[in-house]
Structure 1
Amino acid sequence: MSNYSSFPFVESLTRELWPLDLSNLVILFAINLPIIAIAFTTLAQLIIPQNPNEPPVVFHWLPYLGSAIEYGKDPVNFLKKCREKHGNVFTFILIGRRVTVALGPKGSNFILGGKLSDVSAEEVYTPLTTPVFGQGVVYDCPNHMLMEQKKFVKVGLSLDNLRAYTEMIENEVLRFLETDPCFYYYQTGDVDKWETFHAYRKMVELIILTASLREAVDGAAFAQRYRDLDGGFTPLNMIFPNLPFPSYRKRDIAQKAMSDFYVGIIEKRREEGRLHEDTDMIASLCTQSYKDGRQVTDREVAHMMTALLMAGQHTSSTSGVWALMNIAANPQIAEALYQEQLENFVTEDGTWRTMTFEQVKKIPLMDAAIRETLRRHHPIHSIMRKVISDMPVPPTLAALKDESRTYVVPKGDMLLASPAVAQMDASIWKNPEVWDPYRWLDPSGAAADALVQYDQGGEKVDYGFGQISKGTESVYQPFGAGRHRCIGEQFAYLQLSTILATLVRHLELRMDEVPKHNYQTMVTQPQGNCPVRYRKRLPPKRAA
């Protein structure tokens, strides 16, 4: 150790560590490793210059995790804060991945309107969806096959079928109110007492009942399969699709059981000679063929049915409960919605008229309430794609002062668009934090402009499942935009309108305060128990 005598600090440190055995040194190193890693990550960002040709990277303390904690806790506010500092285009680190964000209408168009040669949704979402939906459908097939499958589903959502679904949905809701134990006071006819129900749980049950076959949802076995599949539809599953956890094993067992269940229904109908007689989605899908002439297989039908159930349930039940709670928390709007029902659906003898598809589409305040719910509580706060070819950022989006250069998002990065940020932008929407359905009835407001851009105007495109409004530059995108725009939005509006209208007809609803958002799930759910109070309404009287 005398060799170190000219370095007193080194000599002192060596003398201190010399008595330590190897195990103590390992422990000491392990204890200090996180501190060293954080220090190295911080210094690297402060010292190493960023590539001027790439979007600015959000500063982070944690190696590998990056900004995952802040983004996961409240993604909308995180993205807003980053926009204030960096503009509409920036990159942040999310569990070892570079995620480039493009906000605003131009940002959404850049990502959601991206070419297949530039961006891929399949590479982002298949680790999550394939183990739940099954193989050969949605993101587990080439994009052109997905577009054909969307066309198959669209056939099942024909006008005639939608008309039939309307009465079926209303009947299911009425049956639910008459049999579910939570609505005991409704069943006994007690119009004076208030009782409470768990709004989210009951909305999930209603969505499943009104989106599935009655033969499919009877029994505890189906409910358990659904819960086990749902347990495999989380952000953790998206990042780590295969882990040795019980929830993953349950997911895989439930997926096979669900697939076998739907195949069993098809085989039974085929044996009985009624496979094409019913007017439901299974009957429709079983008649479809791909462009190359290949018939859709029973297993593909089963997996498409599972996908429709799982994906539709998540977004519809979440949107339904947000609408229900906002209605309950705003008694004046609840009463206005009830009066709208009286004006349109009460007969001369004081009974409720059965709703039809055409009538449901013509109750403006209920339609506005659902649209406002989708604006204020967007079910999918972030939509992602993977860059498969270097993508130059349009100058108008990057807004760089130096017009001679531009940003390039490199191959391998993830892209993120956030409709939720645009739908809560105070520079576009008046009082965006307020749930106000009446903004959609103002022909000169921002909502009307957004609706024209999303639904009624703008570029029309046929990606393989029929002409739709591209909608990628709208500030309102409740069902996504571009080629991956949700094919089931018309059914979702019908389903939510019919469920909510039926509940408003028969129940007075009250809630003290709408819960905050829970962003730890795949869709933006409410926090807490979601208790809504109800009281049975008196028999209707025709509005004067």
Structure 2
Amino acid sequence: MGILATITGPLAERLDGAPVLLVTGAGFAIFFTLLIVCNVLKQLLFKNPNEPPVVFHLVPFIGSTVLYGMDPIKFFFECQKKYGDVFTFILLGKKTTVYLGTKGNEFILNGKLRDVNAEEVYSPLTTPVFGKGVVYDCPNSKLMEQKKFVKFGLSAEALRSYVTLISAEVNEHLDRSHAFTADKGTFDVVHTMAEITIYTASRSLQGKEVRSKFDSSFADLYHDLDMGFSPVNFMLPWFPLPHNRRRDAAHKKMVETYMEIIKARRASNGKRDSEDMIWNLMQCKYKDGTPVPDDEVAHMMIALLMAGQHSSSSTSSWIVLRLAANPHIMEELYDEQVRVMGADLPPLTYEGLQKLPLLSQVVKETLRMHAPIHTILRKVKSPMSVEGTPYVIPTSHNLLAAPTVTSLTPTYFPEPEAWDPHRWDAGSKAANMTATAEEADEDKIDYGYGLVSKGTSSPYLPFGAGRHRCIGEQFAYIQLGTIIGNVVRRLRVRNIDGSKQVVGTDYSSLFSRPMAPAMIAYEKRGKPDPTKGEKAL
């Protein structure tokens, strides 16, 4: 007792006069330190040989979330060097197993429904934004039917008409935007391309009624709804945070707007004046003969608007930024159009786009380096053995595929950090390799929306693969090709400092995009002269 009193007595005297906050803080620090020590010892002493190695981390629950969130691609490459293609990291308390490479893409993206599930991962995030009964808020069989409806709506006839509509929107924006009033100047690529892509997508896919509203309040509603994709909503989708309240109000207003459009169109006795997706979905029926309810049409239109806008806005921004860093490629694109279409440059057409291989390669190379969706998640529904390893992925894990890592791997694409559209020239290694991979996947499969290739053997998967492969791939290439094709006709662009540098990548949301603002210089081209070529300014 004497010894104990000797030790604790002075301590008690000191604590007795200390502020409660200090004591509480000290207790929390001790608890937090013990938590870290226990977590480290657990990783070092209790490894499970039947599960992939866990990326070392200090803080439980947080795990590697911060490193992953800052730069997921860098994080994956660093982990690959330490742990191989298969490893697990802690993402906000959830064990998330990554499987890199083409085998990993096949394992995850072509997983059977009994083994993997996308709905449980994404529904908490997407349902408040898109709405009930569509995409991930319905059984997979119903989603496949909805994808079929959209796929059939993207017919060759519809795509052909979209080129004209998209061209008109691009040229109108370049004519009326305050950013392009002078013959020379600077502009923010990210802001400008976001505007152009939302205008072009709304006019082509969504119809003239929706497009007309983007000149007033609809753009603000879109922004508020877009904030619903904040990563925190994976955990707190229904928490009354300010951005969630704005999201819900925007969703309600946008649904009302679409419902008004649908109601007016039904009242017109089905007189169609366009090939937009609203008309298409209004005519569709599920397999049991039930017409698609109007509220589901509205929710699908919101999903199409949001999903397409993110990917096309990001990709078109990266293309313009890459052209600004490589102005010689921009001149090659211009010369290609003059050579193929003539010096007077008639309006772009669907058929004309097919005759511009370099333009297509610019889009393809940019998607290789800057795929908008850098990671794809699935919930494990039944234990999954990884072939060639002792690992069995338990149902307590999520699976994560990262096709972008494969497309940035030197094994498949030499000098992967170099932006080089000519790596896709006919007969090149990249062109032959991807063609060979497609041939290896020649066995078609019908997930419920028509026969498609599995697509998982290719090292180039910017639109995903398997049953959840993006069905808007054709539209994306048409939209991006038409936008860039018209921009090239109207402008020359370059970096303000004349360098070949591009801005960094913003990974703060689910969709990667260029850091904003991203300012570059522009110079307007003169109008083409059929007899002399392009006039000088």
Amino acid in structure 1 at the alignment position of 2:444: K
Shift of the alpha carbon at 1:273? Answer: 2.2
**CA 451–478 in structure 1, closer or farther in 2 if over 3 Å, else same:** farther
1:448 to 432, 439, 454: 432
Pair 1:527-2:518 in alignment:
no
Tell me the residue number matched to 2:173.
176
1:363 to 342, 356, 359: 356
Contact 1:328 1:509 in 2 (8 A): yes
* Separation (CA, whole Å) in 1 of partners of 2:243 and 2:164: 37
Tell me the residue number matched to 1:408.
392
Tell me the residue number matched to 2:340.
344
Question: TM-score, normalised on structure 2?
Answer: 0.93
Question: Structure 1: which 5+ residue stretches go unaligned?
Answer: 399-405
What is the correspondence of 1:73-88 to structure 2 with a 5 Å cutoff?
73-88=70-85
**CA 197–21 in structure 1, closer or farther in 2 if over 3 Å, else same:** closer
Of the structure 1 ranges 19-28 and 81-90, higher mean CA displacement relative to structure 2 is found in: 19-28
Shift of the alpha carbon at 1:9? Answer: 5.8
Of the structure 1 ranges 357-366 and 499-508, higher mean CA displacement relative to structure 2 is found in: 357-366
Amino acid in structure 2 at the alignment position of 1:520: S
Shift of the alpha carbon at 1:344? Answer: 2.0
Tell me the residue number matched to 2:263.
267
Amino acid in structure 1 at the alignment position of 2:260: G
Amino acid in structure 2 at the alignment position of 1:76: I
2:506 to 472, 494, 518: 518
1:33 to 28, 31, 34: 31
Q: Secondary structure at the match of 1:269?
A: helix
Q: Secondary structure at the match of 1:432?
A: coil
Contact 1:455 1:471 in 2 (8 A): no
Pair 1:116-2:113 in alignment:
yes
* Separation (CA, whole Å) in 2 of partners of 1:365 and 1:338: 10
* Separation (CA, whole Å) in 2 of partners of 1:279 and 1:461: 28
1:204 to 191, 194, 197: 194
What is the correspondence of 1:231-380 to structure 2 with a 5 Å cutoff?
231-274=227-270, 276-346=272-342, 350-380=343-373
Post-superposition CA distance 1:337-371 (Å, at most 9, x none): 0001111223xxx5321222122122100000000
**CA 172–238 in structure 1, closer or farther in 2 if over 3 Å, else same:** same
**CA 21–221 in structure 1, closer or farther in 2 if over 3 Å, else same:** closer
* Separation (CA, whole Å) in 2 of partners of 1:173 and 1:476: 29
* Separation (CA, whole Å) in 1 of partners of 2:175 and 2:403: 39
* Separation (CA, whole Å) in 2 of partners of 1:362 and 1:457: 26
What is the correspondence of 1:220-239 to structure 2 with a 5 Å cutoff?
220-239=216-235
Contact 1:217 1:223 in 2 (8 A): no
Contact 1:454 1:476 in 2 (8 A): no
Shift of the alpha carbon at 1:447? Answer: 4.0
Amino acid in structure 2 at the alignment position of 1:356: T
2:53 to 47, 51, 56: 56
Pair 1:69-2:62 in alignment:
no
Tell me the residue number matched to 2:44.
46
Tell me the residue number matched to 2:473.
489
Amino acid in structure 2 at the alignment position of 1:536: K
Amino acid in structure 2 at the alignment position of 1:41: N
Q: Secondary structure at the match of 1:220?
A: coil
Count of residue pairs brought into register by the alignment:
522
Amino acid in structure 2 at the alignment position of 1:99: T
* Separation (CA, whole Å) in 1 of partners of 2:22 and 2:363: 62
Post-superposition CA distance 1:228-272 (Å, at most 9, x none): 011111212223212221110000010111111111101011112
What is the correspondence of 1:70-149 to structure 2 with a 5 Å cutoff?
70-149=67-146
Question: Structure 2: which 5+ residue stretches go unaligned?
Answer: none
Amino acid in structure 2 at the alignment position of 1:215: E
Tell me the residue number matched to 2:4.
4
2:411 to 418, 427, 430: 427
Contact 1:234 1:522 in 2 (8 A): yes
1:479 to 454, 463, 480: 463
* Separation (CA, whole Å) in 2 of partners of 1:351 and 1:373: 28
Shift of the alpha carbon at 1:18? Answer: 6.5
Pair 1:500-2:484 in alignment:
yes
Contact 1:456 1:469 in 2 (8 A): no
Amino acid in structure 2 at the alignment position of 1:39: V
**CA 450–239 in structure 1, closer or farther in 2 if over 3 Å, else same:** farther
* Separation (CA, whole Å) in 1 of partners of 2:417 and 2:239: 39
* Separation (CA, whole Å) in 2 of partners of 1:173 and 1:25: 64
**CA 176–277 in structure 1, closer or farther in 2 if over 3 Å, else same:** closer
Shift of the alpha carbon at 1:51? Answer: 1.1
* Separation (CA, whole Å) in 2 of partners of 1:214 and 1:427: 47
Pair 1:385-2:378 in alignment:
yes
* Separation (CA, whole Å) in 1 of partners of 2:440 and 2:61: 44
* Separation (CA, whole Å) in 2 of partners of 1:100 and 1:509: 42
Post-superposition CA distance 1:484-511 (Å, at most 9, x none): 0000000000000000000001111112
* Separation (CA, whole Å) in 2 of partners of 1:344 and 1:478: 28
**CA 235–455 in structure 1, closer or farther in 2 if over 3 Å, else same:** farther
Of the structure 1 ranges 289-298 and 463-472, higher mean CA displacement relative to structure 2 is found in: 463-472
Shift of the alpha carbon at 1:417? Answer: 0.5
Q: Secondary structure at the match of 1:115?
A: coil
Post-superposition CA distance 1:266-307 (Å, at most 9, x none): 101111223545321100110000001110011111111100
Shift of the alpha carbon at 1:13? Answer: 5.4
Post-superposition CA distance 1:90-116 (Å, at most 9, x none): 111111000000000001100001000
Post-superposition CA distance 1:108-160 (Å, at most 9, x none): 10000100000000011111111111111000000000000000001110111
* Separation (CA, whole Å) in 1 of partners of 2:201 and 2:440: 27
Amino acid in structure 1 at the alignment position of 2:172: R
Q: Secondary structure at the match of 1:515?
A: coil
* Separation (CA, whole Å) in 2 of partners of 1:496 and 1:442: 21
Contact 1:459 1:471 in 2 (8 A): no
Tell me the residue number matched to 1:402.
none
Question: TM-score, normalised on structure 1?
Answer: 0.92
* Separation (CA, whole Å) in 2 of partners of 1:53 and 1:70: 26
Amino acid in structure 2 at the alignment position of 1:147: M
* Separation (CA, whole Å) in 1 of partners of 2:208 and 2:186: 27
* Separation (CA, whole Å) in 2 of partners of 1:181 and 1:234: 31
* Separation (CA, whole Å) in 2 of partners of 1:507 and 1:489: 27
